[in-house]
Amino acid sequence: MKFLTNQMKKLLGIIVLGLFLCGSAYAETMNEWIKKGYKVKNEDIVTTKNSRVATKVYTLMHRRGYIVICTVRISSSSSIHKTECKRQ
């Protein structure tokens, strides 16, 4: 279990570093929704075994109850492949 926890910490560190280094499209997309009054309520990392790509999923919520789901696909080299936000 400790091994899995260390792996998740490393993955999270890689993702955060990748977002800082090369994420202008991601930042703009998230900022557009945040400027409209949405707040981040939840964030998760989705990975599969033997995959070199992780997906970071953000749930944004407006005070009126509207929900937006944003996904960011990140490779093992910390480059962002695809970002997308959809209102539910």
pLDDT of residue 28: 59
Write out the residue range of the structural domain in which residue 45 sits: 2-87
pLDDT tens column, 14-31: 665 555 545 455 555 787
Alpha carbon distance 29, 35 (integer Å) = 10
Q: According to the model, what pLDDT value does residue 48 have?
A: 81
How many other CB atoms are found less than 10 A from the CB of residue 15?
18
**39-55, pLDDT tens digit by residue?**
999 999 888 877 888 88
Cα(2)–Cα(84) distance, rounded to whole angstroms? 33
**What's the pLDDT at 67?**
92
Amino acid letter for position 34: I
> Which strands sit side by side in the sheet containing 39-46, from one edge to the other?
39-46, 53-61, 67-75, 80-87
Q: Domain count for the chain, please give it.
A: 1
* pLDDT tier, 80 (very low <50, low <70, confident <90, very high otherwise): confident
